[in-house]
Structure 1
Amino acid sequence: MTDTQPSPDQSETRKGVIAALFTYGLWGVLPLLFHALEPAGAVLIVAERTVWSLVLLALVIALSRNAKDVVAVLSDWRRMRVIALSAILLVGNWLLYVWAIATGQVLEASFGYFINPLVNVAIGMVVLGERQNRLQSIAIAIACVAILIQAVGVGNIPFVALGLALTFGSYGLIRKTAQTGPVTGLFVETLLAAPFALAYVAHDVATNGVGVHADPTLLLLLILTGPATAVPLLLFGFAVRRLRLTTIGMFQYISPSIQFLLAITLFGEELTPVRLFSFALIWLALILFSFNSFRQHRRLRV
């Protein structure tokens, strides 16, 4: 009788693929949640997102018995300085992203996350002195041309796209030096931002009254910003332990692709020929970049 059961490695890989699909799928549909919360305003949304994320992450820390790791980080001033900077970048990225959705710039936000992998490479070149091969250099050059064309298409520099890519790319770079696990690191970052978030919520209520909190639907959606933030990150941590980085790299294009489709279908944003051409160039750059990563991985396996 032939054994048709998958091997343990295959089973774990399958679980990683499912987790990655859910991760990037959830990130892709986030604009739907933030668009529904538009009456709350970008700053209040991010403040509530921070508070409810902290609540959920605290529960995860308690259930996983990682409190000792949190205490170790909080007592290490060197790591705390690094995490404080990463928290600023993370909250800045959240603010810019939510504001972009609220102001009808989902298309440009998706452009920002499309160029993010290439920005990561550029940051590595500038900050870490990493050397890139010819294909990587060509991909970065094509991305730069795409950004210039995007600037011509919208009549100004795509600050939202560049801001999202630079803040998230810098966040990733800094987190690498923090020497903390993904859950512990995110919890401490959120813990540092929480007092400011709570202060803003209190100020908003004191100034404007209960406001959006009086609407049960909006209040529920505000609470859901916590799971919508923490769950994909937890799934990402699960997936990255079971999949190769090159595989994860292929999945990261799912989110901006979904955002791109939402922008031109559901949100009715205009995709002019110039902007479409700039996206086409970015897709070409990403194909070259992905092919190069795949080729390097195969060489390492030989």
Structure 2
Amino acid sequence: MIACCTVWGLSPLYYKMLAHIPPLEVLSHRTLWSLVFFAVVLAVQGRMGPLRSALSSPRSVVIILIAALAIATNWFFFILSVQIGKAVEASLGYYIFPLVAVLIGVVAFGERLNRAQGLAVALAVLAVVVLTLGLGVAPWIALILSVSFGLYGLVKKSLSIGPVISVTAEVLLLSPIALIVIGMAWQQGHGAYGASLGDSLLLMVSGPLTATPLILFSYATKRVSMATVGLVQYLNPTLQFMCAVVIFGEPFGQWHVIAFSLIWAALAIYSLASLRQDRAARKARVRSEAEAIGLTSSRSDSSANP
């Protein structure tokens, strides 16, 4: 999980090296090389069958296409944010994503906010308002990144297929658009792939750079609690934030300090509440299992000693 979030968190360094290539073209190459990498992985694992099954139902294809458009939007604005010097705002987007996900749960599933969650969401909203008033413009990139990723997660809830297969299906559906974008770039004489060996290799790296952390994430979520997953995931925006401020030298003024302080306070409240809920759930599960074992033992004793 740490390895996964470290790759995600340091990815701005990679996309900064491609800042001279239009973001839509970078996104197109990311889509195609991800498809190549995922296809190889599934072929080696002998799991091409589930991929064909996922694309055999018109309903599944529609859901996967909506998810693909949501994640493509997220990828595009993340690449754009790094290229135009807005990586700080991108990190803000991934900081507030868990709280946006809570709001989506309220709207989509009628979930109720407990006191801690309500306070955390209120602080996040206040942070966005402070940043908007202080800078004179809303943090649109942060909002687009958090909402698009939240909607992506919402759509994926209705799919029963695994994450690697679903993402492979998503980039497969996006690949015709990616091919058109790259073809148009070549036709206009400024296609990046093939223009230089360095750029070509960097663009090819986008495939494993996209696929590897997702595979690590899928592996990790099966082995650690969701509360732990939620906490470790904050490593991603924290590393993005460090890249933006320390390495890229992006401005971080007083309004950013106030807004980020509010977000970090909100996440601390939210995380503590999540940990308590997870601990209470585990205690209840252990108690239930102990009671079940005790009941089974008592029945066994009673049957052995009529």
Q: TM-score, normalised by structure 2?
A: 0.91
Asked if 1:53 corresponds to 2:34, the answer is yes
1:283 aligned to which of 260, 264, 288 = 264
Q: State the secondary structure of the residue aligned to 1:80.
A: helix
Partner letter of residue 242 of structure 2? L
- Is residue 179 of structure 2 the alignment partner of residue 193 of structure 1? no
CA shift at 1:154, angstroms? 2.3
Counterparts in 2 of 1:216-231, with a 5 A limit?
216-231=197-212
Shift of 1:279: 0.2
Query: Aligned residue for 2:296?
Result: none
Work out whether 1:268 is the aligned partner of 2:249. yes
Q: In structure 2, the residue corresponding to 1:38 is in which secondary structure? A: coil
| Offset, 1:274 | 1.3
Task: After TM superposition, give the deviation of residue 293 of structure 1 in Å.
Answer: 0.4
Q: Deviations over 1:114-160 (max 9, x none)?
A: 00000000000011111111110010001000011111232201100
Identify the residue that residue 226 of structure 2 maps to in structure 1. Answer: 245
Instruction: Check whether the contact 2:182–2:191 (CA below 8 A) recurs between aligned residues.
Output: no
Q: Is the aligned partner of 1:170 residue 2:151?
A: yes
The answer to whether the Cα contact below 8 Å between 2:192 and 2:200 also exists between their aligned partners in 1 is no
Bigger mean CA offset, 208-217 vs 164-173: 208-217
Structure 2 CA distance, aligned partners of 1:282 and 1:198?
39
- Paired residue for 2:165? 184
Q: In the aligned structure 1, how far is the partner of 2:70 from the partner of 2:219?
A: 23
Q: Name which of 181, 186, 192 aligns with 1:205.
A: 186
Alignment of 1:126-165 (within 5 A): 126-165=107-146
Q: Give the AA of the match of 1:295.
A: R
- The residue that corresponds to 1:63 in the other structure is 44
Tell me the distance in 2 between the aligned counterparts of 1:207 and 1:182. Answer: 36
2:71 is aligned to: 90
Query: Is the CA contact 2:192–2:199 (under 8 Å) kept in the aligned structure 1?
Result: no
Q: What residue identity is the alignment partner of 2:35? A: L
Cα distance in 1 between the residues matched to 2:136 and 2:267: 24
1:118 aligns with 2:99: yes
Partner of 1:13 in structure 2?
none
Q: Which structure 2 segments of 5+ residues have no match?
A: 284-306
Does the Cα contact within 8 Å between 2:64 and 2:169 map onto a contact in 1? yes
Question: For residue 298 of structure 2, what is the aligned residue in structure 1?
Answer: none
Give the aligned partner of residue 3 of structure 1.
none
Once the 2 structures are TM-superposed, how far is the Cα of residue 67 of structure 1 from its aligned partner? 1.1
Cα deviation, residue 164, structure 1: 0.1
Structure 1 residue 300 corresponds to structure 2 residue 281: yes
Within 2, Cα distance between the matches of 1:70 and 1:211?
31
CA–CA separation in structure 2 for the residues paired with 1:293 and 1:143: 17
Superposed displacement of residue 265, structure 1: 1.1
CA contact under 8 A between 1:153 and 1:272: conserved in structure 2?
no
Task: Extract unaligned runs of 5+ from structure 1.
Answer: 1-19
Counterpart of 2:59 (choices 55, 61, 78) is 78
1:104 aligns with 2:85: yes
| CA displacement at 1:212 relative to structure 2 | 5.3
Match of 2:5 in 1: 24
Contact 2:193 2:203 (8 Å CA) reproduced: no
Percent identity among equivalent residues? 36
Structure ID, larger Rg: 2
1:211 shift after superposition: 4.3
Runs of at least 4 residues of structure 1 off by over 3 A?
Answer: 209-212
Deviation at 1:208, TM superposition (A): 1.9
User: How far apart, in 1, do the equivalents of 2:219 and 2:273 lie?
Assistant: 26
